[in-house]
Amino acid sequence: MQQSCDKVVLIPKINRRIFLIMSGGLLLPTVHRVFAKQKNETMNNRYDAIIVGGSFAGLAAAMTLGRSLRKVLVLDTDKPCNRFTIHAHNVLTHDGESPASIKEKVLKELLNYSTVEIRKQEALHVSKTDAGFIIATANENYECRKLIFATGMRDILPDIDGAAACWGKTLLHCPYCHGYEVRGEPTMILATAKDIPEMVKLLSQWTKQLYACATDGKLLDASFLQLCEEKGVLVIGKHVQRIAHTNGRVSAVCFNDGTQQQVSVIYGRFPMEQHAVLPVSVGCVLTDMGLIKVDMMGQTTVSGVYAAGDCISPFRTIHTAMASGTMAGAAVNKELIELEF
Ligand SMILES: Cc1cc2nc3c(=O)[nH]c(=O)nc-3n(C[C@H](O)[C@H](O)[C@H](O)COP(=O)(O)OP(=O)(O)OC[C@H]3O[C@@H](n4cnc5c(N)ncnc54)[C@H](O)[C@@H]3O)c2cc1C
């Protein structure tokens, strides 16, 4: 089943016959052990699929592949984007649980599958081979036939004092994840002038005490300002200086003219970037939104490379990440079946 990977053997190769002749066979037991070890390490580090990123998308892909009797390795640095939040919501059977505890349960479930291996290592480099790919971490090289990126996105917070401390607690990104818990609260929207109209409409479903401030300082359309006035939304044309808070609990947004607006919640729409540079380095094309370009099953623009989770989707939830991970896992298994059957 495994394809020959002689070209990509990771341990320096010695010509066994020459070595035996030169040593007169005296070192035979040692040589046997050396070669056995080389073979073992090479075999051990060979996988049907490697998944880079072991959070919700990556672990869903791992379970699908592991259950398909595929030898799978997950490499993960354990830095999911939602690690700043205390409670995850809108996650069936886990509503209100901490993201870390949900992940812990998934990891426990995966222990049931001897086919799945998880290592806390950073994938640093990917190179293509005839048989698939080699993934390098700081201390090891791993070979695989198919590769899945489930590396997520990194949120780029604005350079506003207090933003980092409040992120995921009272500075939120998604009302579907946290809106119900802060419904009816005085809420500020921080986004570019282009994004504010859509966010005002969306968030007015959860609260009528809405304020908005354009982070790029651009002016909003006059007709939209008129609509805001009618709906009771206050648009503040000032520059945000800092967010006043206690242990991440927002109390006010403070402006550069010394005034402030008291709120207990802020929604921000900030830029994002790929968490890992590896997908691009191996040739994956990104969309205009900076997401990895994939087809319906997660196939990227590079043959044999799939992607799942936030790194391919603007709709960031645990469910959608898991769903796309499951699909990418199934697609990889199907591709391997097509090669083998
Ligand atoms: C603040 C916040 C709160 C949220 N709250 C909710 C919520 O309440 N409910 C909900 O449904 N959704 C919520 N989300 C969205 C949800 O967390 C994401 O959709 C989900 O985590 C995406 O899963 P993922 O596996 O695609 O990526 P991530 O969870 O971001 O995981 C990516 C993983 O890849 C690893 N990684 C990256 N590069 C490498 C590398 N080179 N080598 C090895 N490992 C690597 C990272 O360390 C990380 O573990 C929230 C998001 C944020 C930002």
pLDDT per residue over 73-89, tens digit each?
Answer: 999 999 999 999 999 99
CA gap 242, 16 in Å, rounded: 68
Ligand 1 interacting residues, C-beta cut-off 6 A: 52-58, 75-82, 84-85, 88-91, 122-123, 150-152, 155, 168, 173, 177-178, 275-276, 278, 309-310, 316-319, 321
Lowest mean pLDDT among 16-20, 199-203, 252-256, 284-288: 16-20
Mean pLDDT of the chain: 89
pLDDT at 15 over 90: no
Measured CA angle at 12 (ends 11, 13), to 5 deg: 105
pLDDT per residue over 159-180, tens digit each?
Answer: 999 999 999 999 999 999 999 9
pLDDT per residue over 231-285, tens digit each?
Answer: 999 999 999 999 999 999 999 999 999 999 999 999 999 999 999 999 999 999 9
Backbone angles phi, psi at 286, to 5 degrees: -100, 155
pLDDT at 22 over 60: no
**pLDDT band, very low/low/confident/very high, at 42 (cuts 50, 70, 90):** low
Give, using CA atoms, the residue closest to atom 26 of ligand 1.
309
Ligand 1 atom, smallest distance to 153 CA: 30
Kindly report the number of other CB atoms within 10 A of residue 22's CB atom. Answer: 10
pLDDT at 1 over 70: no
pLDDT per residue over 275-310, tens digit each?
Answer: 999 999 999 999 999 999 999 999 999 999 999 999
266: Cβ–Cβ under 8 A, 6 or more apart, which residues? 166, 170, 171, 172, 187, 188, 189, 190, 243, 250, 253
Instruction: Give the pLDDT of residue 26.
Output: 39
CA gap 326, 312 in Å, rounded: 14
> N- to C-terminal Cα distance for the chain?
10
| pTM of the complete model | 0.88
Backbone angles phi, psi at 118, to 5 degrees: -125, 130
- Residue 331 exposed, middle or buried by CB count within 10 Å (0-12, 13-18, 19+): buried
CA gap 31, 16 in Å, rounded: 8
Q: Map tokens 């083998």 to a residue.
A: 340
Which of 92, 137, 174 has most ligand 1 atoms within 8 Å of CB, for mutation? 174
pLDDT at 227 over 60: yes
**pLDDT band, very low/low/confident/very high, at 43 (cuts 50, 70, 90):** low
**pLDDT band, very low/low/confident/very high, at 127 (cuts 50, 70, 90):** very high
Mean per-residue pLDDT, 102-129: 97
CA neighbor of 19 nearest in space, from 4, 9, 30, 11: 30
DSSP run (H or E) holding 108: helix 99-110
Mean per-residue pLDDT, 93-97: 96
Mean per-residue pLDDT, 15-31: 37
Ligand 1 atom, smallest distance to 155 CA: 53
- 40 vs 204, more confident: 204
Strand partners, 299: 306
pLDDT at 198 over 70: yes
DSSP run (H or E) holding 148: strand 141-149
CA neighbor of 311 nearest in space, from 155, 173, 167, 166: 155
Instruction: Give the pLDDT of residue 270.
Output: 94
How far is the centre of ligand 1, averaged over its atoms, from the C-alpha of 81 (Å)? 4
181: Cβ–Cβ under 8 A, 6 or more apart, which residues? 87, 89
CA gap 56, 94 in Å, rounded: 13
- Residue 37 exposed, middle or buried by CB count within 10 Å (0-12, 13-18, 19+): exposed
How far is the centre of ligand 1, averaged over its atoms, from the C-alpha of 57 (Å)? 8
pLDDT at 40 over 90: no
CA gap 74, 79 in Å, rounded: 14
CA neighbor of 113 nearest in space, from 82, 83, 71, 165: 71
Instruction: Give the pLDDT of residue 80.
Output: 98
- 12 vs 231, more confident: 231
The structural domains of the chain, ordered by start, are 5-44 (no CATH), 46-155+273-340 (3.50.50.60), 163-268 (3.50.50.60)
